[in-house]
Amino acid sequence: MQFADTSEVRSALAWFARNIAWINEQQVRLTEIPAAPFQEAQRAAAVKTLLASSGLEVQSTKPAT
């Protein structure tokens, strides 16, 4: 059996197909948040909120300098 033939993968692909418009909207919204290189805290906070709204427990850490 190929990996892509599993019911879990088929289910995930079906979810992506049903939600592609929402996925694209989120991608645009997140990339429109101004974020200079290494100054992406505002964008990271938006991603954290998005993931948390889906029921995921999100933790973020500040990278070592």
Cα 19 to Cα 37: distance, rounded to the nearest angstrom: 30
**C-beta of residue 61 within 8 angstroms of C-beta of residue 45:** no
pTM of the model: 0.70
Cα 63 to Cα 58: distance, rounded to the nearest angstrom: 16
pLDDT digits (tens, 9 = 90+) for 14-64: 999 999 999 999 999 999 999 998 889 999 999 999 999 989 998 878 766
Look at residue 22 in the predicted model and tell me its pLDDT.
Answer: 95
- The H or E element that residue 31 is part of is helix 20-31
Count of Cβ atoms closer than 10 Å to residue 52 Cβ: 11
